[in-house]
Amino acid sequence: MLGLVGWWSVQALPANPLRAPHRLVNGQTVDLNPLFKWWTNHSGARPLTGWVHVTGAIVGTNSWGWVVQRTAQSTNGRKKNLEDEKSVEKEPAKVLLLHPPLQDLAEFERLKSQLEGLNRSRAQLAGQETQAKNQAQAVEKEQKNAGRNYSQARALGQEAKKLNQVSDQARSQVKVLDTEIHSLKNKLAQYPNPDRYLIDCLALDANQETQGIPVYDHGSVFQ
C-alpha cells in the first residue's frame, strides 16, 4: 500500500505549525484557532488533544498522502502525558499523512525558487559592479599618467565617468535585490529548514495504522 516515490541576518518568527486553522476532516469542519491560541502560551487545559504536532521529511508518496519520516507528539493512548508538548518519540518513525498540505509545499517551493533566482541576479550584478569599478580605477590611473596630453586625459576622464556610472547603477540594483532577498529569507525562516521542505503541521491522530504505520490526517484546508 505504501509505495514510496521518491548575507542578511534573518530576524523572523521561529518555525511553527500554526497554519491553516480551518480544516475539513471526514466531512466535518474543524476550527483549530483554540489550539493555536493555547499553543502560544500553554495556558490552561490543552484543547483538541487529538491533534498533534507532526514534523519530519517526506520520504514517499502514495494515493492516500505523504509518507513522513518524523518525530511526532502523539496522543490517544500512543503516549502518556497528553498535555506535554515536549514529549517526543526518541526514535524517528514513519507515518502516513492524509490530505497533506500541498499548498504549503507549493508556497515553499515558490519562495525557494524565487530566492535562488534573486541570488543569481545579485551575483551577476555584483560582478558587474566590481568589474566596472576596477576598470574605472585603471582608466583613472591612465588619466593621471596622461600628463599634459589634455585631449587624451579628457577622453579617459569621460570613459572613467561612464564606468563609475555603470558601477553605481549595479550597486543600486544590488541594494534593491538585497531588500527582496531579505524579505524572502524571513518568509523561509518560518519553515523548519529553509533549504529543504519539512513537514511542520498539526494533524489529527486517526488512531489507525496501515502495515504498521500510524495514520494522521492533516485535513483539507479551506478559507
Long-range contacts of 145-154 (CB under 8 A, 24+ apart): none
pTM (predicted TM-score)? 0.78
Among residues 100, 109, 76, the alpha carbon closest in space to that of 23 is found at 100
Query: How many alpha carbons fall within 13 Å on the CB side of residue 188?
Result: 23
Contacts of 129 (CB under 8 A, 6+ apart): 167, 170, 171, 174
Give the pLDDT confidence score for residue 185 in this predicted structure.
96
The 10s digit of each residue's pLDDT in 201-220 is 999 999 999 988 999 999 99
* Number of helices and strands in the chain (H, E): 3, 8
Give kind and range of the element (H or E) at residue 154: helix 150-188
The 10s digit of each residue's pLDDT in 177-201 is 999 999 999 999 989 999 999 999 9
Give the pLDDT confidence score for residue 78 in this predicted structure.
45
Give the pLDDT confidence score for residue 92 in this predicted structure.
56
Give the pLDDT confidence score for residue 162 in this predicted structure.
96
Give the pLDDT confidence score for residue 9 in this predicted structure.
43
Name the stretches of the chain with pLDDT < 50.
1-13, 74-91
Give the pLDDT confidence score for residue 73 in this predicted structure.
52
**Whole-number Å distance between alpha carbons of 82 and 45:** 10
Cα 84-86-90 angle, rounded to 5 deg:
120
Give the pLDDT confidence score for residue 148 in this predicted structure.
79
Do the Cβ atoms of 55 and 93 come closer than 8 Å? no
Give the pLDDT confidence score for residue 75 in this predicted structure.
41
**Whole-number Å distance between alpha carbons of 107 and 16:** 16
**Whole-number Å distance between alpha carbons of 58 and 197:** 8
Contacts of 55 (CB under 8 A, 6+ apart): 17, 70, 71, 72, 192, 198, 199, 200, 201
